[in-house]
Amino acid sequence: MAHILIVEDEKTISDLILMNLEMVGHTVVQAFDSMEALSATNDHHFDLCLLDIMLPGLDGFQLIDSFNKLSIPVIFLTAKDSLTDRVKGLNQGAEDYITKPFETLELLARIEVVMRRFGKPNATFVYKEVEFSPTERTVRKGGQIINLTAQEYALLEVLIQNRNLALSRDKLLEVAWGYDYIGETRTVDMHIQRLRKKLDWEDVIKTVYKYGYRLEVS
C-alpha cells in the first residue's frame, strides 16, 4: 500500500478521498494549501501526491515542480477539464489527470497503475489463511495453491483492491470482465459463490442487499 499526500482545499472532498483510501489500506496525509503541502514533504516520504490545481497560495501548476524535484509522482485531481489544462498538467510532469467528479474505483485503479509504473505494486494480501500475491499471480490457503480460473482471479483482484467498499454487480462486470463484456449480472453471483467456496470466505465476501458485494476486512 502507498503513503499518499492529498492536497485539496475543499475539506469535504479531501475527507471523502481520505476515507476511501484508508478503507483499502493506504496511509494518508492531508494538506489544504500549498504551504501545508510543502511542509508535509519535509516531515514525510510520500509515494504519491493527489494534487488539486486551484489552491490558496501557489496553485497546482506552480506546486508540481516541488514534487517533481522530490521524485514524488503526481496525479492531478481537478475541476479544470479543458484540453489545454490537461495537456499543461501532463507536460509539467503529472502521471495522470483526473477531472471532478470522479468515481472512487477509477481513482483507486489509476493510483494502482502509477504505483506499478514506479515499481510499487500492491503488496501480498493475507487474510484468514488466504494469501493473494499479485506479483506471482497466485492464491494460497493454508500454504496450498488454490486453483482459480482467470475470471475468478480477476474478480478476486478487484474485490481485494477495493476491499471494504461496496461494489455493484454492474461495476464488477465492468471492471473485472471488461468494458466490452456483454452478460447478465447473475454471472457475477455465480463467480462470487465459487470464490466463497474455494476460499472458505462465506463470511468475508458479503452480499450488499439489492446492490452487489463487499470484501469485508477488519
The CA–CA distances, whole Å, from 176 to 90, 138, 140, 159 equal: 28, 17, 20, 9
69: helix, strand or coil:
helix
Task: Summarize pLDDT for 89-111 with one digit per residue, the tens.
Answer: 999 999 999 999 888 888 998 99
Residue 92 CB coordination number (10 Å): 16
* 68 class by beta-carbon count within 10 Å (0-12 exposed, 13-18 middle, 19+ buried): middle
Ordered by where they begin, the domains of the chain are 3-117 (3.40.50.2300), 125-215 (1.10.10.10)
Bridge partners, 98 (sequence order): 77
> Is the pLDDT assigned to residue 62 strictly greater than 80?
yes
Task: Summarize pLDDT for 151-180 with one digit per residue, the tens.
Answer: 999 999 999 989 999 999 988 988 888 866
Q: Whole-number mean pLDDT of the chain?
A: 91
Q: Where is average pLDDT lowest: 4-8, 123-127, 183-187, 196-200?
A: 183-187
> Is the pLDDT assigned to residue 120 strictly greater than 80?
no
Task: Summarize pLDDT for 68-82 with one digit per residue, the tens.
Answer: 999 999 999 999 889
Whether the Cβ atoms of residue 131 and residue 140 lie closer than 8 Å to each other: yes
Q: What is the pTM of this model?
A: 0.75
